[in-house]
């Protein structure tokens, strides 16, 4: 029996999978999401969301997808790993992502790929008046050739709006690289850095995930001291918070305890279990 079912929970509360149903709207995450929606709605082009590993960028991207996928006026695409060894391979991945490979005959050249993408953007964005959103997760993996291709795609526009709404979710290392690319950095209409959570948000995140897993709100599973210790050892990074809480709940069950307190968290740290 899994630990969460023995606690009366209906699902795993502290999984590190980017489930949008477990998207906790901290002040910063909510601000980033709302600003993204505005820029996409206005079709202004390039948005960049930055943050360290484990701060919640991928979950934010999945939440964005969840909010937009049902809209008939929006075409949403996502590249989860943009690693490509050449500009041709990256163009090919874009063609597959946009599902337009069948529009290219024979063995395509780089020019064929570019023309197919350009035709697709104008057909959907102008003739059908669709908003085309391309999200690139782990954008720090984009090489110089791929970034140049994306820069060119951002050139496609009408007098009123950009045909491609490009959202890059990346670690901080991307920032100095795009600053060096002419006519790329100045195209960014939204640049937002997501910082780690403070202690209050850490407390609220833990309770939010427990509630969404079916835990009774009358019960207190994590003491205030435990939350303080979790904040200290995680430094407010959601991925680390989830890992600590997962191991703490598992220890709670196997150790026949009824509450997670600060000493339990410190013991986990001492035994290098988090």
Take residue 187 and report the two structure tokens written for it.
Answer: 């195209």
Q: Could you report the per-residue pLDDT of 95-132, keeping only the tens digit for each?
A: 999 999 888 887 888 999 999 999 999 999 999 999 99
27-193: in CATH 3.40.50.300:
yes
Q: Do the beta carbons of residue 129 and residue 119 sit within 8 Å?
A: no
Distances (CA, A) of 32 to 51, 59, 75, 195: 11, 12, 20, 11
Which pLDDT score, from 0 to 100, does residue 230 have? 96
Q: How confident is the model at residue 85 (pLDDT cuts 50, 70, 90)?
A: confident
Q: Is 69 exposed, middle or buried (0-12, 13-18, 19+ CB in 10 A)?
A: exposed
Structure tokens at 203: 């407390």
pLDDT of residue 1: 46
Q: What's the CATH code, domain 3-11+197-270?
A: 1.10.8
pLDDT, tens digit, 9 for 90 and up, residues 196-241 = 999 999 999 999 999 888 887 667 889 999 999 999 999 999 999 9
- Percentage of the residues of the chain whose pLDDT score is greater than 70: 97
> Would you state the structure tokens that stand for residue 134, as one six-digit string?
């391309």
Closest residue by Cα to residue 194 from 62, 30, 81: 30
Tell me the domain boundaries of the chain: 3-11+197-270, 27-193
pLDDT at 227: 96
What pTM does this model have?
0.91
Compute the distance between CA of residue 129 and CA of residue 121 in angstroms, rounded to an integer.
10
Stretch 84-100: mean pLDDT, rounded? 93
Strand partners, 131: 74
Predicted confidence (pLDDT) at residue 29 exceeds the cutoff of 90: yes
Q: Given the structure tokens 């943009």, which residue do they identify?
A: 82
pLDDT digits (tens, 9 = 90+) for 40-70: 999 999 999 999 999 999 999 999 999 998 8
Is residue 68 within 8 A of residue 74, CB to CB? The reply is yes
- As a whole number of angstroms, the distance between CA 254 and CA 2 comes to 11
- The token duo for 183 is 């006519």
Helix crossing, 224-234 with 199-212: angle to 10°? 110
**The pLDDT of residue 252:** 87
Contact 32, 26 (CB under 8 A): no
Element (H, E) at 98: none
pLDDT of residue 202: 96
Highest mean pLDDT among 115-129, 176-190, 239-253 belongs to 115-129
In this predicted structure, which of 32-36, 77-81, 171-175, 213-217 has the lowest mean pLDDT?
213-217
């Amino acid at each position: 029996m899994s630990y969460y079912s023995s606690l009366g929970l209906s699902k795993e509360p502290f999984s590190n999978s980017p489930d949008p149903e477990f998207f906790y709207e901290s002040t910063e995450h909510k601000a980033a999401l709302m600003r993204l929606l505005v820029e996409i709605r206005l079709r202004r082009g390039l948005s960049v969301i930055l943050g360290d590993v484990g701060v919640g960028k991928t979950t934010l991207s999945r939440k964005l997808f969840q909010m937009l996928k049902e809209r008939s006026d929006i075409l949403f695409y996502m590249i989860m790993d943009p690693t490509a060894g050449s500009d041709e391979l990256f163009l090919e991945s874009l063609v597959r992502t946009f599902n337009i490979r069948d529009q290219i005959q024979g063995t395509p050249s780089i020019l064929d790929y570019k023309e197919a993408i350009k035709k697709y953007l104008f057909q959907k964005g102008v003739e059908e008046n669709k908003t085309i959103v391309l999200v690139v997760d782990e954008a720090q993996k984009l090489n110089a050739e791929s970034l140049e291709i994306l820069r060119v795609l951002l050139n496609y526009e009408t007098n009123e709006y950009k045909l491609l709404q490009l959202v890059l979710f990346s670690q901080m290392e991307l920032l100095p690289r795009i600053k060096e690319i002419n006519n790329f950095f100045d195209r960014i209409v939204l640049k937002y850095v997501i910082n780690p959570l403070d202690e209050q948000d850490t407390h609220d995140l833990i309770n939010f995930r427990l509630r969404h897993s079916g835990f009774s709100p009358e019960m207190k599973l994590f003491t205030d001291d435990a939350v303080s210790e979790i904040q200290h050892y995680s430094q407010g990074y959601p991925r680390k918070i989830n890992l600590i809480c997962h191991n703490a709940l598992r220890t709670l069950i196997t150790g026949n305890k009824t509450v997670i307190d600060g000493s339990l968290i410190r013991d986990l740290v001492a035994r290098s279990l988090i």
